[in-house]
Amino acid sequence: MVVRKFVTAVAVATALVLGTTGCSLSHNVATMQQYAPSDGAQITVDGVKGLNLIYLTQNVTDLGGLEVGAIIGSFVNTTDQPVQIRLQYQIDGSQSVDVIAAQTFDWVSEIIMPGQKYDLGYNESPAIYGVALNAKNLVAKPGDLISVFVGVNDAQGVQVLVPALDGALEQYKTLVDNLAAIDENSAE
């Protein structure tokens, strides 16, 4: 009788322990997975980290419904050599005289020294302006993903899908509101 109670108690205790820890024994722990702790995309290319890369967009109804947009984010050089970042993406060229619909836009950063950070659209640094196109060659709207190629020095670029956001999130509202002001100034 005592043995039966002992075996039953051990079986219940074992079932309880396995039942309460079973998920962590057989499943990946979500807190150990890498993820972007921001609204933007992250990428590491040849030792340079692209952080919180976002395409901000706004439909400016005051300007005849034209779309304005800009890429923002930060780059950190984790190498021991100076580098330059190169971004390439498709922009809307329908307002230009010499292009039909889309053109490839190339941008090259200043030299980023080892251990330094280079900001786009933050800390008094300008963003990269231009109306980006989504994968269907349509003007990007909030929720779209913009295909941006990030290269270091003269190396071939690596694709990163950058989310298009508008001013719906409070932390980007001021930046998006500034897009219209910059577009109005450039039109003058």
Average pLDDT over the chain reads 76
Q: Are residues 94 and 46 in the same domain?
A: yes
Quote the pTM value. 0.69
Q: What is the 3 state secondary structure string of the chain?
A: CHHHHHHHHHHHHHHHHHHHHHHHHHCCCHHHCCCCCCCCEEEEECCEEEEEEEEEEEEEHHHCCEEEEEEEEEEEECCCCCECEEEEEEEECCCCCCCCCEEEEEEECCCECCCCEEEECCCCCCCEECCEECCCCCECCCCCEEEEEEEECCCCCEEEEEEEECCCCHHHHHHHHHHHHHHHHHHC
Q: Are residues 99 and 13 in the same domain?
A: no
Q: Are residues 165 and 104 in the same domain?
A: yes
Tell me the per-residue pLDDT of 104-141, one tens digit each, with 9 for 90 and over: 667 777 889 999 999 888 777 777 766 666 556 567 77
Q: Are residues 13 and 63 in the same domain?
A: no
Q: Are residues 100 and 147 in the same domain?
A: yes
Query: Given pLDDT bands bounded at 50, 70 and 90, which one contains residue 2?
Result: confident
Q: Are residues 128 and 181 in the same domain?
A: yes
Task: Give me the percent of the chain exceeding a pLDDT of 70.
Answer: 66
Q: Are residues 20 and 66 in the same domain?
A: no
Distance (Å, whole) CA 52 – CA 54:
6
Q: Are residues 22 and 106 in the same domain?
A: no
Q: Are residues 62 and 11 in the same domain?
A: no
Q: Are residues 20 and 49 in the same domain?
A: no
Q: Are residues 26 and 71 in the same domain?
A: no
Q: Are residues 14 and 46 in the same domain?
A: no
Whole-number pLDDT of residue 42 = 92
Whole-number pLDDT of residue 25 = 58
Whole-number pLDDT of residue 100 = 44
How many domains are there within the chain?
2
174 phi/psi in degrees, rounded to 5 = -65, -40
Tell me the per-residue pLDDT of 136-173, one tens digit each, with 9 for 90 and over: 656 777 888 888 889 898 888 899 888 888 888 888 88
Whole-number pLDDT of residue 122 = 76
Task: Give me the percent of the chain exceeding a pLDDT of 90.
Answer: 15
CATH code, 49: 2.60.40
The residue segments making up the domain with residue 108 are 41-187
In terms of Cα–Cα distance, which of 136, 106, 109 is closest to 121? 109
Query: Given pLDDT bands bounded at 50, 70 and 90, which one contains residue 91?
Result: low
Count Cβ atoms below 10 Å from residue 45 Cβ, excluding itself.
Answer: 20
Tell me the per-residue pLDDT of 3-27, one tens digit each, with 9 for 90 and over: 888 889 888 888 877 777 665 555 6
